[in-house]
Structure 1
């Protein structure tokens, strides 16, 4: 594929592949405490 610096390779993942995206396991830790809440400021968040 053109446009990449030498030594880099693009790997195309399947459309839905949470097992290949480590961050997917973190969403349930971050979403729950923030869901359905309104914060007055960034500091409160």
Structure 2
């Protein structure tokens, strides 16, 4: 049972990491678009 909980926790942490990375990349992309518009 403890092992199952650990696996579940690992999966949750993994999903959070993926979401954070995705959000970071999306934000970076939108910032670059905004700055390129500003340069024009």
Q: Does the pair score TM above 0.5?
A: no
Give the TM-score taking structure 2 as reference length: 0.29
Indicate the structure with greater helix content: 2
Give the TM-score taking structure 1 as reference length: 0.28
